[in-house]
Structure 1
Amino acid sequence: MDDPQVKGAISLRRTAFIWLAGLMAIIGVCAATASYLLAKNEASDFLDNQLRQIARYIGDVPPSPVVDPDGGVPHDPEDDFVIQVWDASGHLLRQSHPSIDIRREPATGFANISTDTNNWRVYTLATPKRTVQVSQEMSVRQELATDAALQSALPVAVLIPLSLLTLSWIIDRIMTRLNRMAVAVASRDAASDDPVPIDDVPYEVIPFVSSINLLLARLRALLEQQRRFVSDAAHELRTPLSALQIQIDNLRHCDRDGRFAGRLAELEAGIGRATDLVSKLLRLARYDAREPAPTPGPIDLVQLAVDIVARLTPLAESRSIDLGLTSRHPAIAIGALADFEIILGNLVENAVLYTPLGGTVDVAVEVTGQEARIEVRDTGPGIQEDEIGRVFERFFRARPQEAEGSGLGLAIAKAAAERNNARLSLALREDRPGLIACLLVSLDFG
């Protein structure tokens, strides 16, 4: 999205995922660490108990070393226990590994002993008749305990990324409902003021949607009040304007020598402009009220363009403007003829009024695929680029404001186009100064 406000907005999905993912990661690391330490301690206790059990069940044998008791079964010699047995007088009765010399401990219990080559975990069982001592390398114990701890922590480490993927999928499912609601709201017509439905809205979002509906209701009331005011004011103005026109006609009959003809003409022109403004306000009020459009029917767009050009030719000739139809592709559309006359009439009249004396206004009807394109090209001063988006606003007049106008013509044309599912746009000419007004209409091929 190019909107800087959207770029700087906070993503609810990203925020929820970061916080929940961070929480799950912390919990997973703590659980894996605790599992690792507990499993390591448990393995160490198990190995200590193993030393104790071996010491208890060592029997008395002649004083000779045990050589290859496993019958050649492959194994790691480092994993062997070192067993030593002394008699009551301290003579060595048995030693499983003669090359390893581990000192005799005087009392029963565990001890950590270091020799020239290794560190040992030793359990000594001292009785009045003999002393049994079982030893195991610390590195072997560390390896066994670490392997057991890692195997215990491994499921937690594997479940963390799987949980994050599941969390992302769950958040996506939740946000999908919000996205559907956002799409439904964004796709609503600009003139639609119906409440936003809450059937498929999450419970926690209902207060927010209800607030939007409340604002829409207030907006609907304000717009309705504005429409009533414009309509009532326009109706009230029509009567005094008509009365003024009658009085001007009466004064003209009384002015037999023509002394006040010029002033009466100016006054009549002013009343004509006011009457035209009132008529436009009434028409705009009807569009705003969304009154049912006249029964749609087939419209010959070429004939419509010919009629509009013929009607405005006197105005163009009075300004020495070359007004003509440059393209006549046959095109039949379905819509309200009165609305299309208003649209095209406004476009051509504006082009004639804003084009300098001696300029050119070309009207073209072309067909592309399923659409007809009616273009009105003039050689006027055009519109400032920063004002093109505002020309359809009511009472807005783009610079330069050399021609007279009320600023309602394009707003009425836009409303009439929307009522007939047509699209109206303006663009600057690229080949020379001027403006291109374009009306796109879907064709009827029935």
Structure 2
Amino acid sequence: MKPKRYSLQKRLIIYISLFSVVLGCVLIFAAYRIALEEINEVLDKQMQSLAERIAENHPRPLQSQIDLEKQYSEEDLFVDIWSYANTATPLHPQNVLVAPVKKAGFYKHQTPYGTWLTYIIPSDQLQIQVSQQQNVRQELALELAGNMFLPYMLFLPFAVFGLGWMIRKNFQPLHDFKTELASRKAQELKPIEMKDYPLELEPTIQEMNHLFGRISLAQQEQRQFVADSAHELRTPLTALNLQLQILLQQFPQSDSLHNLSQGVLRMQHLVNQLLSLAKQDASDSLIEPAQMLSLNQMTVACLEQLIQLALQKEIDLGVEQQQELRIQGQASTLHSIIYNLIDNAIKYSPKGGVINVSIFQQGQQAVLQIEDSGAGIDPTQFAQIRQRFYRIHNHAEIGSGLGLSIVDKATERLGGTLEFSQSSSLGGLCVQVKFPVVEA
């Protein structure tokens, strides 16, 4: 089962929002408790002061008019003065009168309609009582706390929005880091600069730089191994080929020697392709200066190098259309593209075939087109033939499967595109390499 993924940014926003709501509930409870204590202190002082002033002014019996079923406010205080000798004064739960006490102070009196708080001052003959409903204090404290909580709830959405914006803003370096990694090419293994990344990302960046270094070292060792191996093979293969040519002069009718010679030639071709591939991989890690190149001159140079192979197969190799065009890039890279494409065309064209090379401008692009009269390639295989060591099994020629891979990578390096199609005039493969043209 695939593990459920989550967004740390969204999770932080949700957690902070829930924390803000819980914090608001804690605040309203704390505000309620503080307000209740302050209200109790103020109203207790008020009740005590009122009772003491009454006691100082020779009080007479007095009975307040209290409706126990009514809900009073915090301003309502009820004064009762009753004589101990007055048996007509009822002392039952239906009123707020408290049985005689010996000590002045606050007393709670429970009635069927709620609790009343009473301050009592007893004397020899009278008992002075100042009473108030207890729940009015609780309601007042709750009202004050609610008035404090209401602005908090009104501003909470704006606070959450602001927190979300700040979280997204602080997570921006992660997005920048992701963008920097995504914009890198496969062979770009230079260390990541710290720039303005926060300290929390520094360990990750350092470990990734260490990883890039190890990968770069491993690739360098691999390229060096291929280059060294191919270089070491060139000398014995050349010597072996010379010995075979001597044997063929002595025994020209030997089929075994002819087959062996063809095998050695293929091995030499493979070694040359491996050297070219190793040189191309090595150049990816180096910054070579680009220069202005003549597509025509480079094509003619490659034709001169390969014309002998074409003559051996009696192939008509020529330039069909030529337009003077210039591109920006490295000479070795452009030479690798043209040489490999013409070499492939010669290799897979039949004896007595035709190869046409054209150079023309198409919009803002310089186009190198190479057509041959060979068997062509199934369009479904156009994507696979770009891969290293991919071979088309129905071709009689035995190659290394590296030529088009080298061309594809070199074309990408020059900022061009490689396209395959069927030649409408010759019936074989048509290859077009398109480069950004540079105006002379």
TM-score (norm 1): 0.70
| SS class of match (1:443) | strand
Deviates more, 1:226-235 or 1:44-53: 44-53
Give the corresponding residue for 1:280: 273
Give the corresponding residue for 1:134: 130
2: distance between equivalents of 1:14 and 1:305?
62
Deviates more, 1:354-363 or 1:211-220: 354-363
Call closer, same or farther: CA 1:383–1:349 in 2, change over 3 Å: farther
| Contact in 2 for aligned 1:426/1:437 (Cα 8 Å) | yes
What whole-Å deviation, never above 9, does each CA across 1:78-107 have from its counterpart, x for those lacking one? 565142332435779xxxxxxxx8442234
Give the corresponding residue for 1:98: none
Give the corresponding residue for 2:282: 289
What whole-Å deviation, never above 9, does each CA across 1:128-164 have from its counterpart, x for those lacking one? 2544433445564343121112234446556755554
User: Which runs of 5 or more residues in structure 2 are unaligned?
Assistant: 66-70, 88-93, 423-427
Question: CA offset at residue 344 of structure 1?
Answer: 4.5
Look up the equivalent residue of 1:110 and give its one-letter code.
Y
Give the corresponding residue for 1:123: 118
Establish whether residue 412 from structure 1 lines up as the match of residue 406 from structure 2.
yes
Aligned residues: 412
What whole-Å deviation, never above 9, does each CA across 1:336-393 have from its counterpart, x for those lacking one? 455334325545765787799999999795634x4456677996313459xx3x6544
1: distance between equivalents of 2:97 and 2:28?
40
| Contact in 2 for aligned 1:305/1:344 (Cα 8 Å) | no
| Contact in 1 for aligned 2:416/2:436 (Cα 8 Å) | no
2: distance between equivalents of 1:91 and 1:375?
127
2: distance between equivalents of 1:19 and 1:305?
70
| Contact in 1 for aligned 2:107/2:117 (Cα 8 Å) | yes
1: distance between equivalents of 2:190 and 2:28?
54
| Contact in 2 for aligned 1:55/1:125 (Cα 8 Å) | yes
Question: CA offset at residue 324 of structure 1?
Answer: 9.7
2: distance between equivalents of 1:227 and 1:243?
25
Give the corresponding residue for 2:186: 190
Question: CA offset at residue 251 of structure 1?
Answer: 2.0
Look up the equivalent residue of 1:134 and give its one-letter code.
V
Call closer, same or farther: CA 1:302–1:380 in 2, change over 3 Å: farther
Establish whether residue 200 from structure 1 lines up as the match of residue 196 from structure 2.
yes
2: distance between equivalents of 1:438 and 1:133?
109
Look up the equivalent residue of 1:148 and give its one-letter code.
L
Call closer, same or farther: CA 1:127–1:88 in 2, change over 3 Å: same
Give the corresponding residue for 1:251: 247
| Contact in 2 for aligned 1:417/1:424 (Cα 8 Å) | yes
Question: CA offset at residue 227 of structure 1?
Answer: 1.9
Query: Which residue of 76, 82, 86 maps to 2:81?
Result: 86
2: distance between equivalents of 1:425 and 1:173?
42
Establish whether residue 443 from structure 1 lines up as the match of residue 440 from structure 2.
no
Give the corresponding residue for 1:105: 98
| Contact in 2 for aligned 1:300/1:332 (Cα 8 Å) | yes
Superposed, which structure 2 residues align to 1:32-431 within 5 Å?
32-58=28-54, 80-88=75-83, 102-106=95-99, 107=101, 109-114=106-111, 119=114, 121-128=116-123, 130-137=126-133, 140-154=136-150, 157=153, 161=157, 164-255=160-251, 258-260=252-254, 262-290=255-283, 293=288, 296-300=291-295, 304=299, 332-344=326-338, 346-347=340-341, 367-368=362-363, 370-372=364-366, 380-383=377-380, 388=383, 391-397=385-391, 403-420=397-414, 422-424=415-417
Question: CA offset at residue 221 of structure 1?
Answer: 2.0
| Contact in 1 for aligned 2:302/2:339 (Cα 8 Å) | no
TM-score (norm 2): 0.71
Give the corresponding residue for 2:68: none
2: distance between equivalents of 1:112 and 1:356?
119
2: distance between equivalents of 1:399 and 1:428?
19
RMSD between aligned alpha carbons? 5.0
Call closer, same or farther: CA 1:65–1:123 in 2, change over 3 Å: closer
| Contact in 2 for aligned 1:383/1:398 (Cα 8 Å) | no
Call closer, same or farther: CA 1:438–1:158 in 2, change over 3 Å: farther
Question: CA offset at residue 406 of structure 1?
Answer: 0.9
2: distance between equivalents of 1:438 and 1:40?
87
2: distance between equivalents of 1:9 and 1:209?
23
What whole-Å deviation, never above 9, does each CA across 1:257-287 have from its counterpart, x for those lacking one? x422x44433332222111111111122222
| Contact in 2 for aligned 1:321/1:359 (Cα 8 Å) | yes
Look up the equivalent residue of 1:281 and give its one-letter code.
L
2: distance between equivalents of 1:269 and 1:157?
87
Look up the equivalent residue of 1:88 and give its one-letter code.
S
Call closer, same or farther: CA 1:44–1:187 in 2, change over 3 Å: same
Look up the equivalent residue of 1:275 and give its one-letter code.
Q
| SS class of match (1:200) | coil
